[in-house]
Amino acid sequence: MKDRPLNLVISIVIVALSALGGGLAGILFRVAVVLPLQDGVRAEWAAWKSRENPLASQLVSAGENVAIAVQKGEVRPLPGSLDEIPLFNSNSPEWVKEEGILLSTFPPYGTYYPDAHLDYPLRGEFELFAHHFVQNPPDGQTLYLGILVYNPNLEAVTLEIDRAASYLLEPDAPFQEKPPMVKNPDGAVYSGPGIRAVDAVMRGKRQPDFPRRLEIPPEESRMLLNQPIPVKGLQRQVNGRSTFMRLNSKLGGDDDTPADVYIASLAMYAKIHPDGGERAPELIEWQRLLDTGNLAQPRDKVPTPPEQTGGQLIYSRVAGVQIGSKWEADLVDSGRDTLAIPEPGRGISYVVSTVRAGTLGTGQIQAADLAVRYPDTAYQSHGNYGVRYDLTLPLFNPAEKTQVVTVTLETPQKEEKLSEGGLIFRQPPWDFPYFRGTVRLRYQGGWGREKTSYFHLWHRRGQIVDPLLTMKLKPQETRRVEVDFRYPPDATPPQVLTVRTVE
């Protein structure tokens, strides 16, 4: 279905009546819309007429077969900021078509192509993200993704692998449509390899393929990853691999002194045995590629310079080291240690993963800065793939009556300024999924008991979705809610975390 502009004349009759009864389950919205609806949309519309989500009562016509809801309420920047933990971010070129260097922080000295090396050592705690795909490789060859670590020190280095996961698109984690929200207590629900990898790391897992420690002798290299991206036997010769790790480099022995290491992600086709079979490249072959190879071609689109204000905006893909892997914040009112829930029927939304030209009226860009990057790749880590958002909401009910409040992670229409005076949602939503990944929810339940829930979300842009949590707050009561997730690869920013008080 073709998108309609948002400034079309709005024509509608809305009747929103609330049935008697307590709590969210007692609310019923009846909506009468002057719209020519096709059969498929009409069926969806009938379902929306009895939804418990308050936004369903605000849907208004924006053209044939399309309805718009404008969520009134305050939109706030997210408190806090990114930490200083670096993240090795290898995501360009996303589609690898030739052998070569994907991202190298090695020094350029003695290499054939010095510009392919960014000369940036990593030391102590850092994280690593590598996310690449292949399509129709020559003769169906298997492409290998290699991650090489070099110890430049005069004594051994221990690389601690605290958490690590690496998954293929096929068969490990295919892109598949999922329900908008489904419980995911053990990580069995996923919708892509990057999504599955960051979910595993969020849960503190390390796959058995990865050792707890990697010992690297002085002035030597070791392979941190040497894994295939096979296409043979697949109906479509398309596959990908996503890897995410939390690492810590220390001088050998029991010393906790941080140690410099250099890291490179590389792409190489499988080597062929005399009998025609494939084998994985060996360390010496990866080292030769690092020393003599150039950046993998072809490159992604060149990004729009930050100083450019007109024309097309291209974010491009990331290949560099970003500064920041965690955003931790307490969502509270200014000068207070609690967040007063809004008036009934209103919401307070905090923006998440905002980018240039998509700050939803806040002016806040959350994309991590890059300490080093290649000139033809992204200027910032747009989308903050893999970054952990750890958000605490101490919800306070200032009223003299019990109120029902909801907490929702949702994806409105991307805007720099709120053109309609609020966040824009649509029925039916725009087709492409903009958020798909797992969110962890921790909160105080009945009798003060701590509860933890995991939900896999699969949201289209502008989709009106159910809340993560609905709870009653007694007069003057405060209850803590924590929303925690790794921003999933292949999600598209921005999102908002909304606290809404039910009418």
CA contacts within 13 A on the Cβ side of 438: 25
Rounded mean pLDDT of 385-411?
97
pLDDT beyond 80 at 301: yes
Three-class DSSP labels, 427-460: ECCCCCEEEEEEEEEEEECHHHCEEEEEEEEEEE
Whether 275 has a pLDDT exceeding 90, the answer reads no
The two three-digit tokens of residue 231, written as one number: 């296409």
Residue 73 three-state SS: strand
Alpha helix segments (H runs only) across 276-346? 283-292
- Could you give the 3-state DSSP secondary structure of residue 289? helix
Alpha helices in 299-448 (DSSP H): none
Strand-strand pairing, 238-251 and 157-168: antiparallel
Segment 122-138, tens digit of pLDDT: 999 999 999 999 999 99
pLDDT of residue 297: 95
Q: What is the pLDDT of residues 357-380, one digit of tens each?
A: 999 999 999 999 999 999 999 999
- Residue 6 pLDDT exceeds 90: no
Beta bridge partners of 461: none
Q: Supply the pLDDT for residue 8.
A: 29
Regarding pTM above 0.85, the answer is yes
Question: With pLDDT > 90 as the criterion, what percentage of the chain qualifies?
Answer: 81
pLDDT greater than 90 at residue 12: no
Do 60 and 10 form a contact (C-beta atoms < 8 A)? yes
pLDDT tens-digit profile of 136-178? Answer: 999 999 999 999 999 999 999 999 999 999 999 999 999 999 9
Whether omega for the bond prior to residue 306 falls within 30 degrees of 0, making it cis, is: no
Q: Which residue has the higher pLDDT, 97 or 255?
A: 97
pLDDT for the residue 285: 98
The answer to whether residue 417 scores a pLDDT higher than 80 is yes
